[in-house]
Amino acid sequence: MTTLDYTIIASYLIGLLLLGALYRRHGGGNDYFLAGRALSWPAITLSVMATQLSAISFISAPAFVGIREGGGLIWLSYELALPAAVAIMLWRLLPSLHKAGVVSVYDYLERRFTRSTRLLISFVFQLSRSFATAIMIYAISLILQGTIGLNQYHAIALIGVITLIYSAMGGMRAVVYGDALQMILIVSGAAICLFVGLQEAGGFSNVLALVEPQRLQAINLESAGFAGSDFGLLPMLFGGIILYASYYGCDQSEAQRALSTRSLSDLRKMLVAVALLRFPITLLYCVTGLVIGVLFLNNASLMDQIPDGKPDWMMPIFIVEYLPSGLVGFLVVAIMAAAMSSLSSAINSLAAVSVEDIYRLKGRRPKSHEYVRQARLAGIGWGIVTLVLSLYAGDIAPTVIEAINKIGSVFYGPVLATFLLGIHTRRTSSRAVNIGLTAGVVCNILLWILDIPLFWFWWNVIGFTVTVVVALLIASVRPDAIPKTLPSVKGAGTSLLGALVCWSFVLLGLSIIIPMILKA
């Protein structure tokens, strides 16, 4: 690292603080958390992808493909279910939430069921999101240790304090516009690493000659995922549909962006853009990992620099070892930007849920200035909580990207089931759905604790099924007074929904033939 690299990093951090100051004035909760529903769909699209394709994807996906034992292009199968999941979200789920005009998506459940349902699922969200965010910050702090020499505490403080300030000041506008910039940096950084890696490896033909053949396999048709984490096609498809539909449609950290769109038309454009653009970006990450992995696996001195069981160190070590002065600073900025994107989104969404819950319990609506003040305090509070948790976060999977999705898979199925029961059924009561949600989450936790040899992607399907079955059984055996049924909103037309499902099959076909193309 040279003076130029440190100057680039410092300039970027100062720029983020100025961004927060620029958008520090807000007219109330709707303006602070939803940016007054005045943001353009392209900016929101970049923000959504920046949070999902964040520092963890930028670092961990290439590591999974390049050097993780049992890894390779099989990670592409993670993307196959997204377009089908978008079709589910556009059918009625997100249009209904958008039309309801809520700040917190869990407010919809209070209107449909009772306050107890809202508070229960709000607790589930806050628990899962805070732990997942803490793991992400922990991972990035380790990476910054390897690139710019900061110890863990200083790295966490650097990421956390800057993010807390600009997101607390600027609200959703600062989060979205900061994320849009960060998405550009992330993709540019991956492209630079791929270009340099190809030069160092002697071209793509040389990479293909040296790569382990099993790492070129993008689809696993031999396993159904009943014998551990083997990334079989069936769990990746069925579990992936539920995971993505729940994450983008029911998780406040992502759904909040959808609620910020100006209209249902913009909402559709944003989600379709995400469905189309995610696969090419993930493919870029995977090919980058394939190329850089060949460099490492064929160079003992490089592999010796990676701590045992820490494949996520591959990208930071590559950046320091191979990139020239200036580009190192740029790539470190890209990593930090991606981490800050995830943290700022988590802080803003956790604050939105907390503040809305607090005022629901108080039974009153505050004045605009009081609401914004409470929102900022809640954001700072949750930021501190996640940063403290990150100091104690440990490893629960070979790569961090797997760890975060493993945590999410405990909760995503039951949460999606709760929303769909509220939108698509009329006889399901609050008591039934609360017990169903609890049963689904507890079932998945037991699968984890008991270490059942089942690929954790199946947890999404199991949690979803348990929640639906238990809720419907209770509703039929012990029918309660049904709360007011909210009208569902018709979403996209069948032609668009069908096209999205077809796109999932197109991606499946591409993934099947990729090894053939590479070997040709």
Least confident stretch, 25-29, 163-167, 169-173, 345-349: 25-29
Place of tokens 């100062």: 14
Mean pLDDT of all residues in 173-181: 68
pLDDT for 298-354, tens place per residue?
998 989 888 887 788 888 889 888 888 778 887 777 677 666 666 766 776 777 777
3-state secondary structure of 39: strand
What does the block give as tokens for 504?
Answer: 């999932």
How many residues belong to the chain?
A: 520
3-state secondary structure of 2: coil
3-state secondary structure of 316: helix
Please state, in angstroms and rounded to a whole number, the distance separating the CA atoms of residues 261 and 156. Answer: 32
Please state, in angstroms and rounded to a whole number, the distance separating the CA atoms of residues 455 and 71. Answer: 15
Topology, domain 3-519: Sodium/glucose cotransporter (1.20.1730)
Q: What is the DSSP letter of 36?
A: G
Phi first, then psi: give them for residue 100, nearest 5 degrees. -70, -20
What does the block give as tokens for 475?
Answer: 């509703």
pLDDT exceeds 90 at position 288: yes
Residues 6+ apart with CB under 8 A from 303: 67, 296, 297
State the pLDDT confidence band at 404, using cuts at 50, 70 and 90: confident
Q: Are 94 and 491 in contact (CB under 8 A)?
A: yes
The pLDDT, as a whole number, for residue 462 is: 96
Mean of all residue pLDDT scores within the chain: 80
3-state secondary structure of 25: coil
Please state, in angstroms and rounded to a whole number, the distance separating the CA atoms of residues 314 and 211. Answer: 16
Least confident stretch, 155-159, 173-177, 178-182, 326-330: 173-177
Burial readout 185-219 (b: 16 or more C-beta within 10 A, e: otherwise)? bbbebbebbbebbbeebeeeeebbeebeeebbbbb
pLDDT for 49-62, tens place per residue?
876 676 678 888 89
Q: Are 459 and 441 in contact (CB under 8 A)?
A: no
How far, in whole angstroms, is CA 249 from its chain's centroid? 12
pLDDT for 111-122, tens place per residue?
888 888 888 888
What does the block give as tokens for 276?
Answer: 């189309």
pLDDT exceeds 90 at position 105: no
